[in-house]
Amino acid sequence: MTELPTGIADPGEVRPLRLPPGAPLFQRRAERLADLAPGNAAGDFLQLLARVCEVQARVTGELRLSPNGRDLPATRPLGLASPLPDWREALARLLAGLAAIPMPPAAREAVHALQRAGADEREALAGRVLRGELTTEDLAAATFAGAALQVVYTGLAAALPPGLPRAEDGGCPVCGAPPVAGVVLGDDKLRYLCCSLCAAEWNLPRLHCAVCRKQDHVGYLTLEGDTGPAKAEACRECRVYTKLLYVEKAPRLEVGADDLATLALDLLVAEEGYRRNGRNLLLATAA
Ligand SMILES: [Zn+2]
Ligand SMILES: [Zn+2]
């Protein structure tokens, strides 16, 4: 049996929404990043992020977040209007955990800067991460702020009851964030988009652009000679592409990790004039 991204055994079972597993998701991502690092042009970066994901897994396990006792809206229960308050504790624990892992001087300085930052400054940065409005000065610290936000949103999403209503605007049904990429399962090409923030996955019909939802305007771009799992589904209508990762090509793939290991494809597609749909919070980019 093929191992699937979140442990779902039957790829033929179409579900509108799949909630993430919480701490085990970060552990899987850490292991996958460590596997992908050797031989990758960005290997040192992937290795560093593998360690960050290990800390995320540990902090998610420690916090044991629960929706019980919270006044969450029925649609988009985790919303992006302001960072969930638990993120402050998640960041403090994450920064403490990061002190023990090796990292290059620029990353270490970003960790120290976040430790020195006041509560208002941290909160403002988290808001810019959630809105995708980062400045170039934010970039080094934004990866770690984004990692802390992922801990809280993924930890809570994992504990939500199933059956949330579908969103119509291309964002995550749980939190509203854009996807990191899509995952394609099995021969029947069942597809899910994977949330960049809470790691929930929502079903996306085949051959529809993930952004404008139009049919028959999408084409597929790959790196020449590449046998890896990534393809860019590019829409001629809205000039946006969504990265898709094929489990058939890499049974052990993890969307957040494999996205970071296939950035050469993003460079190629950008040269063709397409803008990316979605983002990876561990690779902060300026707006
Ligand atoms: Zn989400
Ligand atoms: Zn489109």
Percentages of the chain per state (helix, strand, coil), in multiples of 5: 40, 15, 50
Domain total in the chain: 2
For the stretch 41-77, pLDDT in tens is 999 999 999 999 999 999 999 999 999 999 999 889 9
What residues does the ion ligand 1 have nearby, CB within 5 Å? 172, 174-175, 177, 195, 197-198, 200
Q: Do strands 240-246 and 190-195 pair parallel, antiparallel, or not at all (unpaired)?
A: unpaired
Tokens of residue 142, six digits: 């934004």
User: Residue 279, Cα to own-chain centre: how many angstroms?
Assistant: 7
For the stretch 175-190, pLDDT in tens is 999 999 999 998 767 8
Q: Is residue 284 part of a domain?
A: no
**Are residues 272 and 143 part of one domain?**
no
Ligand nearest the Cα atom of residue 76: 1
Distance between Cα 253 and ligand 1 center (Å): 19
Mean predicted confidence (pLDDT) in 93-117: 96
Beta bridge partners of 183: 192, 245
- For the beta carbon of residue 29, count every other beta carbon within 10 angstroms: 26
Distance between Cα 232 and ligand 2 center (Å): 13
Ligand nearest the Cα atom of residue 233: 2
**Are residues 188 and 116 part of one domain?**
no
Strands (E) located in the chain? 17-18, 179-185, 190-195, 201-203, 218-221, 230-235, 240-246, 275-276
Q: Is residue 282 part of a domain?
A: no
Domain boundary residue, one of 101, 123, 158: 158
User: In this predicted structure, what is the pLDDT of residue 169?
Assistant: 82
The whole domain housing 224 covers: 179-276
11 pLDDT tier (thresholds 50, 70, 90): low
**Are residues 89 and 38 part of one domain?**
yes
The whole-model pTM stands at 0.94
Distance between Cα 196 and ligand 2 center (Å): 19
Q: Is residue 285 part of a domain?
A: no
Distance between Cα 175 and ligand 1 center (Å): 4
Distance between Cα 25 and ligand 1 center (Å): 14
**Are residues 89 and 29 part of one domain?**
yes
Ligand nearest the Cα atom of residue 210: 2
Ligand nearest the Cα atom of residue 209: 2
Q: Is residue 26 part of a domain?
A: yes
Ligand nearest the Cα atom of residue 275: 2
Distance between Cα 215 and ligand 2 center (Å): 8
Distance between Cα 10 and ligand 2 center (Å): 29
Q: Is residue 6 part of a domain?
A: no
Tell me how many helices (H) and strands (E) the chain has: 8, 8
- Over 70: is that where the pLDDT of 9 sits? no
Q: Is residue 172 part of a domain?
A: no
Distance between Cα 207 and ligand 1 center (Å): 23
Distance between Cα 30 and ligand 1 center (Å): 20
**Are residues 204 and 76 part of one domain?**
no
Residues 6+ apart with CB under 8 A from 25: 6, 57, 154, 158, 199, 254
User: In this predicted structure, what is the pLDDT of residue 154?
Assistant: 98
**CATH number (domain holding residue 80):** 3.90.1670.10
**Are residues 267 and 198 part of one domain?**
yes
Which is more confidently placed, 15 or 117? 117
Distance between Cα 216 and ligand 2 center (Å): 10
Distance between Cα 240 and ligand 2 center (Å): 6
User: In this predicted structure, what is the pLDDT of residue 166?
Assistant: 76
Ligand nearest the Cα atom of residue 234: 2
